[in-house]
Amino acid sequence: MEPWVEPAIRLGFPLFLLVVTYFIGSAVERRHQRDLQRREQRSRNLPALTFQTPPEDWQIEESALVTGSVVISIDYFKRFLAGLRGLVGGRVASYESLLDRARREALLRMKERAFDSGFGAVVNVRLETSRLASSSRRGQGTSGVEVLAFGTALKLSRA
């Protein structure tokens, strides 16, 4: 074997992985964003409020706790970019987009679940974010973030 083959493989594989995950990762992200937009349009008439108590003129028949959650991760290429960004500081746009998508997805799941059970509104909506530590690399690598959205769903009777 030629002496340059081994370093070429060592360097080539991560580069190849970066290129491949760049394309697949961007496609996955774009598809998710389109899907979110479509579903947000559809669930627009179900209000989700962060108010503690519902407005006084609402006639409430029934209530229940509803939750929606998602675990989502970033692709290898963007993680690499974010690592570089960590050297110079500044906005880490790739993680901003990841968290934005996760929150919207969790909210949507909560709303969809409320809607499917016949509820008309959700009050006291809260969002919680937590990092899942990966079991490899001594828990250093982030294997994903979980966003949980929860609130009290209300069944309203029109007075």
Burial class (CB in 10 A: 0-12, 13-18, 19+), 80: middle
| 130 lines the binding site for other proteins (CB under 8 A) | yes
> Site residues for other proteins, window 24-63 (CB under 8 A)?
24-25, 28-29, 32, 52-54, 60-63
**40 CB contacts (<8 Å, ≥6 apart)?**
104, 108
| 17 lines the binding site for other proteins (CB under 8 A) | yes
DSSP 107-131: HHHHHHHHHHTT--EEEEEEEEEEE
CB of 116 to other proteins, least distance (A): 15
Task: List b or e across 92-108, with b for residues whose CB sees 16 or more CB atoms inside 10 angstroms.
Answer: bebbeebeebbbbbbbb
CB of 145 to other proteins, least distance (A): 10
Which one of 2-10, 37-45, 81-89, 120-128 is the stretch in contact with other proteins (CB under 8 A)? 120-128
Select from 75, 108, 114, 120 the one that contacts other proteins (CB under 8 A). 75
CB of 2 to other proteins, least distance (A): 29
Q: In the structure encoding, which two tokens stand for residue 109, read together?
A: 């799941």
Which one of 2-10, 38-46, 65-73, 81-89 is the stretch in contact with other proteins (CB under 8 A)? 65-73
Binding mask 77-106 for other proteins (x = CB under 8 A): -x-------------------x------x-
CA distance 109 to 114: 9
| 113 lines the binding site for other proteins (CB under 8 A) | no
Phi, psi of 51 (to 5 degrees): -65, 145
| 19 lines the binding site for other proteins (CB under 8 A) | no
